Structure 1
Amino acid sequence: MGKVHHATAPSGDPAFREYIQKGVERGIESRIVDSWKRCSQAGLSPFVRNAPAPIENHIFKQRIEQNLEIVELFQFYMRRFSGMLEQLGACSFVCDIDGYILSRVGYGKALNFFDNVSLLEGSNCSEEFLGTNAPGLALVTREPVMVTADEHYAKICHPAFCAASPILDQNRDILGCVDITKFFDHHISEELRNHLLNLAISLSDMIRNEVFLGRLARSYPVHYPGRASLQGGPNGPGSGDSPERKPRLSFARIVGSAPPLAKAVQTAKTYGRKEGNILILGETGTGKELFAQAIHDEGRRAGGPFVTVNCAAIPLELAESELFGYERGAFTGARTEGHPGKFEMAHQGTIFLDEINSMPLPIQAKILRVVETKRVTRINGKREIPVDVRIIAASNRVLADEVAAGTFRKDLFYRLNVLPLRVPALREMKEDIPALLDAFFHSCTEAHGVCPKRISTEAHRRLVAYDWPGNVRELKNCAEYLCFTVEGDEVAEHHLPPEIHPGKADGAPGPSAAPEEPKNLGSLERMFLIETMRRFHGNAVEAAKTLGISRSTLYRKLKKYGITP
């Protein structure tokens, strides 16, 4: 592939020296100035249009095939973010390691400007072709970068703000780059610039994690009893687009016989034979989703889909399209045939709205309309679509208190609270801790081939005395932590995590503790995630902050490794 012809601008040119000097005087950062110098040495002039011609179609197809994984992942995630880009007047694209644009979506006017400067799919955005720009610079520095207005080398690009983040593999080798561009806003705020940069970083991180974990899954497939090997990617079981693939659960899978739990199970079984909406209340980590799916799987709708919506994990600006879907033309980059929302996907089945209390009031109003009319209207849609769906909602807060505080609609509360169900906290059923631990140890042994474990008398006493603020989820994470860190078959008191064994220094193993060596990088990352979730009692928000990743990225990692979030 030959380079396009550029008008030369040698670094000795007085006009170019003045251009550089003015940039330095304006305080342009050194890596931008260094990029300008590289552009000059490559023969580019900032004063003329450097329009890279797209590569031939058959070569473009070859590049798509070579980078199909990142293209598909980019398109998958942009189905969630394209509506937001449309509202912001921005667009986004992904390019390969050489700077060739492979796919782009977003605001129509911004894409038209891309067309005008010949930045089409198949065009090259690298420094040597286009001059200083965010994706071109990110490919050179291997770091996220923003380039604003006249920081661009070529004057034709001065109307643009660009934020880009490279996609790096586990060895920090470049796989490609994600760019977000906004035009015609010379006074773009610092806050919006940072948000767009963070979005670019999140997109590149999500793509990188999917690629990385997908490779690990192919190298080290994880087998679960009664379940096929988990495969990653946008079409895998964690995507939410194929709810019927989830394994059937029943009340027999709920471990324990303590009176509060037995009462909840009996009530839930009764609800399974009825059709009213259900509101499940319980602290974080008590297993509300397990109850919801068991109600579905042993009820009249067992043959239909069970669709889970983690309301707290959906970005607010995407909640409407996620729940109610969109029609063709709703925004640039939308699927040509439109896309159904979660309510449509749950037709003739059950939709589980977890952490419903986190939904903003405007979305609550739209949910109320669906509850009352049994119909949904997609974004940009002109017709109402009937849906036959049972709603099970859950909250880790007392919704009556939220209603009193004005953060939850009273009318929606009454429509959801037809059949109330309370799931007890683990501290109310401590007699079930041994049975739960045995179940978790057995599952961990089957899934990962670790040595079977049993609890010593002293360790059992400590476990029962602990208050378990993270409930069954925390107990499960603790069990997995012990499976991976205790080499022998008996868990002694000194093996327990420091918050359960107060006399143990944080992170200091007992005299006979010998952590099992992780078998591969996947095992190491899984252990680290388990330990982090255990430390924060299953609180995904705090865990994500500590890990320095977005909450959605954390949820995908947890799903990949089969860790209950």
Structure 2
Amino acid sequence: MSFNPFYNIENPELMGYEYAWVNFIKNDEIPENIISEEIFKSWKRCKDRKQDARVLDIPENFCGHDELNARIKRNSDLLGISSPIMRDIINVLDEKEVGIRIVDSDNIVLMDVRGDGFARDNRGKSSVGDCCGESVIGTNSLALTILHQKPISVVGAQHYYQQNHRFAGYSAPIIDGDSKIRGAIGITIKLEQISHYMLAMVTTAAKVIENELQLLRSNSIIYRQNNEKQDILDSVTDGIIYVDKAHIITHANLQIAKFTGLKKDDLIGKNINIIHTFPHIGSLDSSGDISNIQVKLKGKEKSYNCFLSHKAVKDNEGSVIWIFTATDEIQELADKINLENRAFFTFDNIVGKSKVLKNCIELAQKVAEHETRVIIEGESGTGKEMFAQSIHNLSPRKNGPFVAVDCGAIPRELLESEIFGYEEGAYTGARKGGHRGKFELSHGGTLFLDEIGNLPLDMQAKLLRVLQESRVVRIGGYMPIPVNVQVIAATNQDLKKEVDSGTFREDLYYRLNIVRIKLPSLRERKEDLPMLIDSFIRANKHQINSKIKGIEEDAMNLLLNYSWPGNVRQLNNVIERMMILAEGELLTKNLIPNDIALKVQNTTILGFEVTDEIYTLEMASAIYTKKVVTECKGNIKRASEKLGISRATVYRLLKHAGGRL
């Protein structure tokens, strides 16, 4: 099985994993900011154990029938709860190529449920009783979840064994009431079905299983000690009610009171419809158990999306216990883990020592300290998002999400729903359950609005209201949702001119423009160019397996004389191209693209750069005189002799040239 670096060319994140894996296997190195620390340490452990990452047949490690039966008996409550939940997930996903497993705390598979297509692809063999520990099958999500006791995804080439690169795994821990890990639940899908929402789903499933386990434990206490029932219910983080066979609420906990905005005393003795009008309430009786029904509880201040579980209680009243698990907190947890909403760059990644760049960095660091709004202006390729990520990672919000929106790349008809979100049924084709916008996704963190000058005027008005009130209302909704977000805007336009022309709201401009950072073009900081070239050579050599060590002086001089309209991004592309074409250890002048070389060639006359500016004869003479003096190392007498003019004339022309060169 050979590595194909262009297999995931349409997904740069997946391709980055492939490059990182190849470099680690070959060179024990990985490019920065691609692989998480947990994945890298797992790879290193596997390699230290001398596991062959390219082996075609991963050895099985069945624990034995007696040992398996003992483990299944010991975890009968866990498996009894998990089985219907796993089937429900298979049905909800409606995917034939999906597998779901439950493992215990020793990484032994206790239950394996698969879609029909996934079972056929794996020859129908169950993995129950096998060990999925790191020492057996290498880096995988279940093993890392057990080790770190948190939700983890292992996607494509993040797996250590190459034969697993075609899969994506998402796992979450199952913690019992004593805060001990009972095991983990994991979803495995084909790589082409990758979805960032899978981690939220498996985390939700683990939370439901934990709640059910805790509920079983709580029920035994309730039966034995009825006077402690209410205290136990109030300690649970989910909303819980007891309902008798007439659908009357007999017990309620503090969390369900919070969800509904009602007092517990106002709930007890009332019909279940006081919480929510259930269309099929006749089927929700004591005749059977139900789990994972999606409902929305509308309280006085906000609405809560919940999973409803419904379980019969064996008492004389025919009671049923209803559990409402809010999914918002679980989604927020998944957002924090989601690589898509993370900032990778810091100020240490910004290369250059020019005064103009240092001034920008110092100003940006003050912005990070005070969490203020800022507009970053700069030409395309100057590093606006790198500055935004650096501000986020230095600010108190660094542990929160960093969400970037390119206002110029998203179609206008989709932009509003992307930024502000929408409710279920807001328009034809709206996703079931609605959709959280970028403001909600960046709650507690930073929202980066790139190319904000492209935002239509009507959306500018809505953005202004959100900034003023720190609340967002989804499309089709009416409930304002509080958001705590630092907004960083960026543009390659002069927003003040856009305000004057009427294409950008003046009130929004001043709301955003607490601090303005104008990033210099590469033309304005050419003294940084050698450092940038060196950093690009070091960064790219691992990805393209290059032996380049530096650049020849004449090639450097040619690059220094180019105007770089594409700025740092263009420079990086040129250096990478030169490295690919190079045959020796140094980058040479002939490797520079023709369009650059031709523009630089013959662009100086009399020692100064040709521009559209028209010089007076006096100024042209002064500039050339200064060049000759420089070549004579400051010897005025020698320069005057070369120029055929008096020393007094040389001094006069030097004074006239001033700081032009």
Smaller-chain TM-score range? Answer: 0.3 to 0.5
Structure number with higher relative contact order (C-alpha < 8 Å, ≥ 6 residues apart): 1
Which is higher, the Rg of structure 1 or of structure 2?
2
Give the structure-2-normalised TM-score. 0.41
Give the structure-1-normalised TM-score. 0.48
